[in-house]
Structure 1
Amino acid sequence: MTNHLFSPYEIKGLQLKNRVVMAPMCQYSVSARDGKPNEWHYVHYLSRAIGGAALIIMEMTDVEPDGRITDFDLGIWSDDHIPAFARIIDGVHAHGAKIGIQIAHAGRKAEDAKEPVAPSAIPYPGSRYKMPRALTVDEVNQMVQLYADAARRAVQAGVDMIELHGAHGYLIHQFQSSFTNKREDAYGQDLTKFGVEVIQAVKKEMPADMPLFFRITAVEYADGGYGMEHAIKLSKAYHAAGVDVFHVSSGGEGPVGERKPGNYPGYQVPFARKIREALGVPVVAVGMLEDPALAQSVICSEEADLVAIARGMLRDPYWTIHAAKSLRSEYTTIPKQYERAYH
């Protein structure tokens, strides 16, 4: 069995010791509200590095203060943020893992912004969400530059990869969906335009051998939302613009309509497989994959190249070590300080 959960993987200059990714998950733990990661984040991410994950993707980190979901989220809108991220990145590297960052803007889902912005003035349903203001074309161009500046800072901090958040109803997703984008200008006529411009701007700030990941919603569940055909069209445009790996999720754009999410282990894996087959590019599968046997089967059956563990890794920082023991794999290293607990 050549490809399995604990086989190495390489994409461009990123060399991973296994196929386990820690999915980005917001911690809502910036006590000073300045966007800088603090001691919680340092311990949180280093614990998963010690626990054996090959790649850690730091949580949704926003390109401007009002681009955060809440004021307790991370940001990378200032050079002042770089040292705090660099400390985490250096620590993770010291424990044998690779680490990247998910760059994003919440758009109309920015709960604490005085006036959220979006492609169109359509609020996200729910009492805690405000009416957003539609961005002008000049502001869209400025937003693209904010993503590029954030990428530059992430590279300066020492990341191994960057992921753009184009899923779960956040700003890039809002532009790429006719459900939330009702613009009559070029950004409404071509739903890939904003995403493509962000990708191209970010790639210019990245080393040539650093891979760019893209988190994509493959299927929207709101009535009138898009399906796999549109997701594949988006993915082709984004791949041509410079995306190297797609991290495939679903939903997040609004209330669930007639099309329901599966909400069972592995329900999103077919979406990842379809994008992988349609484009011939690497994909990350995510969503309730914490059963080691299921995660193993996703890799062995070549449905995805990497598996991202989310809540399973919140519950267990050492999920990767425990998965290796469960699968009787000899391919993961237990920290010497903990070896006696596994004999």
Structure 2
Amino acid sequence: MSQRPAIYKSLSTRYFTQPPQGGESNAETRLSQLAGYLTPTALFYIRNHTATPEIDLQTWTLQLEGDGLKRSVTLDLAALQALPQVSVIRAIECAGNARAFFAHDFGEPAEGAQWRSGAIGVAEWSGVRLREVLEQAGVRAEAISVLPEGLDEGRFARPLPLDKALADDTLIALAMNGEPLPLDHGAPARLVVSGWLGAASIKWLGRISVATHEQNTYWNTRDYTLAGPDYPAEGEADGIPITMMPVMSMPELDWPAELSPGRQVIRGRAFSGEGRVNRVEYRLDDGEWQPARLETPNLPAAWVRWSVSTELAPGEHKLRVRAIDEAGNVQPDQVPWNDHGCLYNAVIAWPLHVGDR
């Protein structure tokens, strides 16, 4: 396995890019360029903690090991492809999505890439259930923890509880939107962990350890946690390890948006972790909250498209949108500070500049 320089895409109609740090690749989807329900692979956001590795498909293997398994097993790509194949439509969202708004709310930026709203995408992922793969090694009754590890330079790894690892929609994905996984999205194999933070969906999968004890790493104890004055430390972690993503909505607009006066249709997306969104409401300037129209499909652990039709006068306006999910969770007006800048899902006052014509 060799390393190649990370590919950084320039500011364009496809991406906003984040400054590279230590070999990272960070490219944010411009939601204003999305048309259909799925995010095209070429537009899907990129979050890689180190340079994207090059992996030889002919020699790549997946190692299954640990005291939670009855035996150690090594599988190659052909062995995975020979198992029953399934497809799911699911979102993957960075836990730091919308992190830039911490600086807006608190006057200082939280640590990490300063995403606005485009560190999320929904794709059709195809491959094999993680459960089917682990069964090749036999899961012991005493097993409680599953630790997948990537083949990137930093060996990114983050644990899953056994029940989440064995869920029907936790996959080892080999394809994305009907095509083999691209390198920047984890080829040849990556996890897809429905409804959880993107860091759980390990890319460039090379090893899975199943244990009868807790397995922790830096990435669930010192990062991708809710840490700060409002969050107590849990166990080895500096705060509360993040799992499921919260309810959130955003318009398919650039920041700030440039619009024409008159009747306009504004579209957007809303989502909520493992569930689905029941309602989206919008508010223009100081007006009352009004219902947005929900489109179809509305899939769990993915998103729903919404639209509003509103009259816009020339000048500066603010659009606010909030989502309510099937469990009754409402997108909040504000969120408390956390040191890692994760899980920002407050209602955002989106600036609209409406020209004279």
Shorter chain as denominator, the TM-score bin is under 0.3
Larger Rg: 2
Higher relative helix content: 1
Query: When the two structures are superposed, what TM-score results if normalisation uses the length of structure 1?
Result: 0.26
Query: When the two structures are superposed, what TM-score results if normalisation uses the length of structure 2?
Result: 0.25
